[in-house]
Structure 1
Amino acid sequence: MAQTDALYDALSGRENLKFYGLMKGIAKRDLNAEVDYVAKVVDLTADLDKRVAGYSGGMMRRLSLAIALMGKPDLLILDEPTVGIDPALRRQIWAELSRIRDEGRSILITTHVMDEAELCDRVALLLDGKVMAFDTPATLERQYQVATIEAVFLKAEGAE
C-alpha cells in the first residue's frame, strides 16, 4: 500500500477491488468472497458500488488498504495505512493486522503515529535516513528510560 492511492476513479470500489484481485492472481471463483471480506475489514461495504471519484480521501485510503489485504500476501508493506481513518475503524484495522501477524504473515508499516508504533512487535526509528533505534517498543522504552515510543524518538534525536 503506497502513500499515494493508485485507484481508478472512473470505476466503483468493487470494480477496483475485482481488478486488483485478478491482477494479484485471485481465482474468479474466490473473488467475490475476498472482495466482501476486505470491504468489511475497512468498512466500505455500503459504498462498494459508488464510483471512486466520489469517495473522500479517507475512503480512498481504506480502499487502498483493502486492495493490499487481498490474496493473503505473506508480506504486507503498508505506508501510513490509517492516515485519515477514524479511531474506531483504526482499532478494527489494527485487530485485523494482529490477526494477520498471528497467522505467521509479516507486516512492514511506516507511520508517523507513534501510538501505532507501540502496537508493533519491533520498531525502527529513522532520522535522516538512518536507523537510530531498533528493538521492541518495551525494550526501547526501558533503554531510553521513558514511557512511550514517541518519547524514545524525541530523546534519541536529542529533542528532549
Structure 2
Amino acid sequence: MPNRLLLAKIGYMAQTDALYGALTARENLNFFGAMQGVNPDELKRQIPHAAEVVNLQRDLDKRVDDYSGGMKRRLSLAIALISSPELLILDEPTVGIDPELRQQIWQELHRLAKTGITILLTTHVMEDAEEADALMMIRNGEAIAQGTPQELIKSYGVDTVEEAFLKAGREQDAHTSND
C-alpha cells in the first residue's frame, strides 16, 4: 500500500493524461485532491487557483470527455498542483499548450520554485529546458552534459541549449566510436 502522506507531498503530471472523462474538471480536481489528503476547505481555495494557473476557470464544470487535448494537459497540471506539493514531477508539461499559456505556466513554475518547491521536469522542448535552473542532458539513457543553460551554452560555444545538446551528443558519439 503506498504511503499516502508521502505521496501528498509530491505533485505528478504524467506524459499521458490519467483523467476521468465522465467527470467534470472540478470533480477530477476534488477527487485527486481528496486522494492526496487535501481537506475539503483547502480544496475550495486550491481549485480556483490551480484552474487559474492553467486557464481553465470557465471550463471547470465541463465534462473532461468534451475537453481538447491541450485542455486535458492543463487539467493534469492543475491536478499536480492541487495539494501544494513540496516536489513537482512534470513529464512534458507544455506539450500541446499555446505559447501564451506556456509563458503563464512558466511564470507560475518559477514562482513556485522561489517558494522552495523542487521541480523535476522532463522535456524534449528546448525552450522549456532553457527555463530550468539546472539541466541534465540525457541521450540513449546516458547523461551527456549537465549545468545551467548558460553554462552549457558557454562550454559548448553555441547559441542555444538545443545546439549544446546536439554538440554534446556528437561528442558522445565520437567518444563511443573511439572505445
User: TM tier, shorter chain?
Assistant: over 0.9
Q: Offset at 1:132? A: 0.2
Number of equivalences: 159
- Structure 2: segments with no counterpart, 5+ residues: 1-12, 172-179
**Paired residue secondary structure (1:109):** strand
Q: How many Å separate the matches in 2 of 1:21 and 1:41?
A: 16
Q: Which residue of 1 aligns with 2:34?
A: 22
Q: How many Å separate the matches in 1 of 2:131 and 2:146?
A: 14
Is contact 2:137–2:143 with CA below 8 Å preserved after alignment?
yes
Q: How many Å separate the matches in 2 of 1:22 and 1:154?
A: 43
Normalising by the residue count of structure 2, what TM-score does the alignment of the two structures yield? 0.87
Runs of 4+ in 1 over 6 A off after TM superposition: none
Q: How many Å separate the matches in 2 of 1:119 and 1:48?
A: 29
Q: Which residue of 2 aligns with 1:39?
A: 51
Q: Which residue of 1 aligns with 2:169?
A: 157
- Structure 1: segments with no counterpart, 5+ residues: none
What is the one-letter code of the residue matched to 1:20? F
**Paired residue secondary structure (2:132):** coil
**Paired residue secondary structure (1:4):** coil
Is contact 2:134–2:149 with CA below 8 Å preserved after alignment?
yes
What is the one-letter code of the residue matched to 1:113? V
2:71 to 59, 76, 79: 59
Q: Which residue of 2 aligns with 1:3?
A: 15
Rg larger in 1 or in 2? 2
Q: Which residue of 2 aligns with 1:131?
A: 143
> Over aligned residues, Cα RMSD in angstroms?
0.9
Q: Offset at 1:71? A: 1.2
Q: Offset at 1:70? A: 1.1
Q: How many Å separate the matches in 2 of 1:105 and 1:50?
A: 30
Determine what percentage of the aligned residue pairs are the same residue.
Answer: 56
Q: How many Å separate the matches in 2 of 1:117 and 1:29?
A: 36
Q: Offset at 1:115? A: 1.3
